[in-house]
């Protein structure tokens, strides 16, 4: 006999209590409000600072809301950089103290990083970049560390009417020569940098010295091979221009420089001698890349005023030389102007230095010097942009 079919029992649907539904909705709304209200408040505060809705959206895109509100940053320049994706957020503090008339460049960022590497604090640098121009800050790469940056800023501002990229003088003294000395980097490279801090050793002599011809130099003059070839070509161009010149000082050994320096001490103080002649080990002549020239047919003691001097200054970079100790930059180089003293760097680097309006001291310490702490090294994009623009390739740019 067939079993009777089981009746399907209808399961009773669980019904959420009305109070639970209300609680759930309340929690959801509370969560939304916890997110929306602060977000709206932030927007209101950004608007109060001066930002437009478009700029606020860009600020959120770059995740800068919290920082901008905490530091109360606003400028039309900063807003424009954010909206147009021209900002490197790591350096937001720098953008905040610049404006359209003095925009932040890759060179500024490199300078900022170099000074951090030299031991300056971030707040010191923000103060410097807020008040000074690029070329007013670059001398700090050479000067002694300034524990208090304010006197330096005040000195620069007091001389702003007379200073420029081509002439820089201040009332204060910011460099102590021959203190905290360091051995040179890349001692047999064309870029080698020698000054009153960086020095060569007594036995550092280039292996590729060659004598200069008797028709273009006084007896016993020599330069490194590449520099000698460039100098010879330069003198040939001078002959064609009827502004003949010849070399009167070129390579000097450590001992020869010692003799030269002591001769200055016989007639003047140490302070004066240091401005006129480098101490042994600190002379560019020991690199085999420096040469002093004199006109063949002109007797004016002011070399820069002669036709030969004018020709040399105008054409030197074409042959890879620069005026190493220019007029108006003695505060930075530590040396009296020497319009007849030329330093070989190679054509590309010589043109880059001349185009920068910096002394070689500043240029080297900004673009070429080894880093003490790789942590401060700017992003590869910044470095590559700078090296490409100034037309040189460095070990650093190719190895990083």
Please report which confidence band the pLDDT of residue 8 belongs to, taking 50, 70 and 90 as the band edges: low
Tell me what pLDDT residue 380 has.
Answer: 85
C-alpha to C-alpha distances, 324 to 61, 194, 261, 306, nearest whole angstrom: 48, 11, 19, 18
Residues 147-159, mean pLDDT to the nearest whole number: 98
Give just the sign of the alpha carbon dihedral 120, 124, 129, 135. Answer: negative
Name which of 28-42, 89-103, 242-256, 279-293 the model is least confident about: 28-42
Tell me what pLDDT residue 384 has.
Answer: 80
CATH of domain 182-364: 3.30.1380.10
Spans of all domains in the chain: 36-96, 105-174+370-400, 182-364
Tell me what pLDDT residue 21 has.
Answer: 61
Residue 246: strand, helix, or coil: strand
∠ Cα 12 17 22 (to 5°): 145
**What is the C-alpha separation between 354 and 317, in angstroms, rounded?**
8
pTM, full prediction = 0.88
The structure tokens listed for 267 are 């007639």
Question: Which parts of the chain are beta strand (E)?
Answer: 182-183, 198-199, 209-211, 222-224, 245-249, 290-295, 321-325, 338-344
**What is the C-alpha separation between 275 and 252, in angstroms, rounded?**
18
Tell me what pLDDT residue 290 has.
Answer: 98
């Amino acid at each position: 006999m067939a079993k009777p079919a089981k009746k399907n029992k209808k399961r009773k649907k669980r019904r959420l209590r009305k109070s639970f539904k209300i609680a759930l909705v309340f929690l959801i709304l509370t969560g939304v409000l916890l997110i929306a209200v602060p977000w709206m408040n932030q927007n209101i505060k950004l608007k109060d600072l001066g930002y437009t809705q478009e700029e606020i959206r860009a600020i959120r895109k770059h995740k800068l809301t919290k920082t901008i509100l905490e530091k109360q940053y606003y400028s039309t320049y900063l807003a424009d950089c954010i909206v147009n994706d021209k900002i490197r957020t790591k350096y937001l503090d720098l953008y905040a103290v610049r404006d359209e008339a003095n925009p932040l460049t890759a060179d500024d960022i490199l300078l900022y990083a170099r000074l951090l590497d030299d031991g300056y604090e971030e707040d010191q640098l923000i103060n410097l970049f807020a008040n000074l121009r690029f070329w007013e800050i670059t001398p700090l790469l050479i000067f002694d560390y300034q524990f208090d940056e304010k006197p330096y800023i005040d000195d620069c501002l007091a001389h702003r009417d007379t200073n420029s990229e081509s002439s820089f003088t201040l009332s204060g003294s910011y460099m102590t020569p021959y203190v905290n000395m360091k051995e040179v980097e890349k001692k047999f490279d064309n870029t080698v940098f020698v000054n009153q801090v960086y020095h060569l050793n007594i036995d550092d002599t280039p292996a590729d010295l060659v004598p200069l011809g008797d028709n273009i130099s006084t007896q016993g003059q020599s330069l490194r091979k590449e520099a000698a070839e460039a100098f010879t070509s330069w003198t040939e161009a001078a002959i064609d221009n009827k502004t003949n010149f010849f070399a009167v000082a070129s390579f000097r050994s450590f001992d020869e420089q010692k003799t030269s320096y002591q001769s200055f001490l016989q007639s003047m103080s140490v302070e004066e001698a240091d401005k006129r002649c480098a101490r042994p080990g600190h002379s560019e002549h020991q690199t085999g890349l420096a040469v002093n020239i004199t006109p063949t047919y002109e007797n004016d003691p002011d070399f820069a005023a002669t036709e030969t001097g004018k020709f040399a200054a105008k054409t030197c970079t074409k042959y890879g030389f620069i005026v190493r100790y220019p007029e108006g930059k003695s505060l930075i180089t530590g040396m009296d102007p020497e319009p007849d003293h030329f330093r070989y760097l190679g054509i590309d680097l010589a043109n880059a230095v001349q185009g920068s309006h910096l002394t070689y001291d500043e240029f080297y310490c900004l673009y070429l010097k080894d880093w003490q702490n790789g942590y401060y090294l700017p992003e590869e994009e910044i470095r590559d942009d700078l090296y490409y623009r100034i037309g040189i390739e460095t070990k650093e740019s190719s190895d990083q």
